[in-house]
Amino acid sequence: MNEEEKNIDLKDLGEFGLIERLTKKIKLFNENTLLGPGDDAAIINSNKEILVSSDMLVEGIHFDMAFTPLKHLGYKSVIVNISDIYAMNGTPKQITVGLAISSKYTLEAIEEFYDGILLACEKYKVDVIGGDITSCINGLTISITAIGEAMKKEIVKRSGAKENDLIITTGDLGGAYMGLNVLQREKEVWKSNPNMQPELDNYNYILERQLKPEARRDVIEFLKKCDVIPTSMIDISDGLASEVFHICTSSNVGCQLYEEKIPIDPQTYQTSMDFNTNPTVSALNGGEDYELLFTINQKDYEKIKNDPNLTVIGHITKKSQGINLIGNGNTSTPLQAQGWNHFNK
């Protein structure tokens, strides 16, 4: 982009001009995408069950442009949507992208954001097949719909957990939340003294967890390779505790979750301590890790026990036994879900 194009006002380019600029970079990766952007509707074809999930990201609620690179935001916008498809044990194939853009954004800014979308689509082999662009008064609103597919017998819901099933999480938890805490702290420091440089060098891992998360395609592929179909599954977007509650409520069961088993990265642990936050609380209630939480029948444990990406953190019980956190010293406490709630003040 030359210097003249960098500061192009979107109203001068127009809706159709912007759409043309953005869509000319799109590549299609899937044979079942029969028609992509450019017509009144896209055309897809599949001999499997179709999975559809939508998420909306609103500036000032879900992201803060004071510390969010636009390319990272575009990338993350895709990840948070396709993670839901993986959580159904499916494969994401297509997305549609809806944007409401205020006048503060230049052509350069929107193209940078869209480059992040296309980078994620290339990595996960997902096709952009359409969407919509409109203006708005304030900020930026992103609405993405993800479309995936799965064989009917392989689809995993939240409602299939059974008594004595093992509860498993992928990766580690709490990092995205602590990354957000660091960014918000440094923003406040900058607001009080704009000449101060942010101190971010020692937080690379948790900052990436917040700004550029990844979806767990690798885990879904591993489970298929091992011929293991989880009995229930959900992605961890609102905090481990909330997701455990979703599975238990949908499956009409209880559980015992063991505090000492919850995987927490050393950087997450130390940063939590620095912020006077219990690391377990960060893992239980932080959210935005986009790991997978699932249950399996105990007979399948031998197939997956050697994978370092998977950690058994508890087991399913009868509903009458409640949803409990087993702490150090074998103390049992009713688990409380205190993750993100859009309608809390």
Are 136 and 214 contained in the same domain? no
Give the model confidence (pLDDT) of 174-213 as tens digits: 999 999 999 999 999 888 888 877 888 899 999 999 999 9
Assess if residue 341 is contained within a domain.
Answer: no
Whole-model pTM? 0.92
Q: Which CATH number belongs to the domain containing residue 247 in this structure?
A: 3.90.650.10
Alpha-carbon distances of 217 from 11, 81, 92, 189, rounded to whole Å: 39, 13, 9, 37
Are 225 and 122 contained in the same domain? no
Q: Are 163 and 317 in contact (CB under 8 A)?
A: yes
Instruction: Give CA–CA dist 319/52, Å, rounded.
Output: 30
Give the model confidence (pLDDT) of 308-325 as tens digits: 999 999 999 999 999 999
Assess if residue 11 is contained within a domain.
Answer: yes
* Dihedral over Cα of 160, 161, 164, 170: its sign: positive
Are 57 and 97 contained in the same domain? yes
Sheet strand arrangement including 323-326: 232-236, 291-296, 166-170, 310-317, 254-258, 323-326, 332-334
Q: Are 286 and 242 in contact (CB under 8 A)?
A: no
Are 15 and 137 contained in the same domain? yes
In terms of residue numbers, what domain contains 262?
Answer: 158-334
Q: Are 241 and 285 in contact (CB under 8 A)?
A: yes
Instruction: Give CA–CA dist 160/87, Å, rounded.
Output: 13
pLDDT at 100 over 80: yes
Residues 45-61: what's their mean pLDDT? 95
Assess if residue 32 is contained within a domain.
Answer: yes
Are 294 and 199 contained in the same domain? yes
Are 123 and 169 contained in the same domain? no
Assess if residue 287 is contained within a domain.
Answer: yes
Banded model confidence at residue 236, pLDDT cuts 50, 70, 90: very high
Residue 12 confidence (pLDDT): 66
Are 149 and 162 contained in the same domain? no
Amino acid letter, residue 9 = D
Assess if residue 345 is contained within a domain.
Answer: no
**26: number of Cβ within 10 Å:** 17
Banded model confidence at residue 95, pLDDT cuts 50, 70, 90: very high
- Pull the structure tokens for residue 302: 């031998």
Give how many domains the chain has, as a whole number.
2
Residue 345 confidence (pLDDT): 46
Are 221 and 145 contained in the same domain? no
Name the domain boundary from 154, 173, 203.
154
Are 139 and 200 contained in the same domain? no
* Dihedral over Cα of 272, 277, 281, 286: its sign: negative
Residue 59 confidence (pLDDT): 96
Are 130 and 31 contained in the same domain? yes
Are 53 and 187 contained in the same domain? no
Assess if residue 85 is contained within a domain.
Answer: yes
Instruction: Give CA–CA dist 130/144, Å, rounded.
Output: 10
Name the domain boundary from 122, 154, 186.
154
Are 50 and 187 contained in the same domain? no
Assess if residue 343 is contained within a domain.
Answer: no
Q: Are 22 and 99 in contact (CB under 8 A)?
A: no
Instruction: Give CA–CA dist 174/74, Å, rounded.
Output: 22
Q: Which CATH number belongs to the domain containing residue 64 in this structure?
A: 3.30.1330.10
Left (φ > 0), alpha (ψ -120 to 50) or beta: where does 78 sit? alpha
Please indicate whether residue 23 or residue 56 has the higher confidence score (pLDDT). Answer: 56
Give the model confidence (pLDDT) of 266-312 as tens digits: 999 999 999 999 999 999 999 999 999 999 999 999 999 999 999 99
Name the domain boundary from 128, 154, 180.
154
Residues 149-174: what's their mean pLDDT? 98
Assess if residue 59 is contained within a domain.
Answer: yes
